[in-house]
Amino acid sequence: MVIELSELAPPKGARKNRKRIGRGNASGQGKTSGKGHKGQKARAGGTVPAYFEGGQMPLYRRIGKIGFRSVKKRLGINQFTLVPLHALDRFEDGATINSAALAEKGFRPRACQKGGYKILGDGEISKKLVLQVQAISASARAKIEAAGGTVEIV
């Protein structure tokens, strides 16, 4: 059996006629056209906004306006100046690397970074270094100790 394009039709009850309001009382939608009697919602263009709560103090005015910022974020305690591992090649073999030595080589923290320095494991290191830093990643620690260096968290 072949179905022709002209024979296609939606199943019975799938399509509904639109409601034609304001066409006389006999239609069932005459007089007030399904809007009830008077009031704001019966008027032309009369809608109530979704946030309107019938005149009571609305939610957006009842709750506080000031957002939350943690003390750590405000003071910058947990924000580190990040130093990649390959950048430590600037130092001599056997050198002790601390905050002062890193600042001297140009790693200056921004005003918001008060947590000190964190060494990341980007790249390789071949020099034997002594690190005294505030934080270090696990991969960086492993590479430094594999090269014969030591790490101390201050």
Q: Which fold has domain 71-153?
A: Ribosomal Protein L15; Chain: K; domain 2 (3.100.10)
pTM for this model (two decimals): 0.54
Q: Give the pLDDT band of residue 64 (cuts 50, 70, 90).
A: confident
Tokens of 101: 């030595």
The long-range contacts involving 70-79, CB below 8 angstroms and separated by at least 24 positions, are 75/114, 76/111, 76/112, 76/113, 76/114, 76/115, 77/114, 77/115, 78/115, 79/112, 79/113, 79/114, 79/115
R_g of the chain computed on alpha carbons? 36
Q: Per-residue pLDDT tens for 36-52?
A: 999 999 999 889 999 99
Q: Per-residue pLDDT tens for 101-138?
A: 999 988 888 877 888 899 999 999 988 999 999 999 99
Tokens of 88: 């430590």
| Mean pLDDT across the chain | 90
With H, G, I as helix, E, B as strand and everything else as coil, classify residue 75: helix
Q: Which of 64, 131, 37 is nearest to 91 (CA)?
A: 131
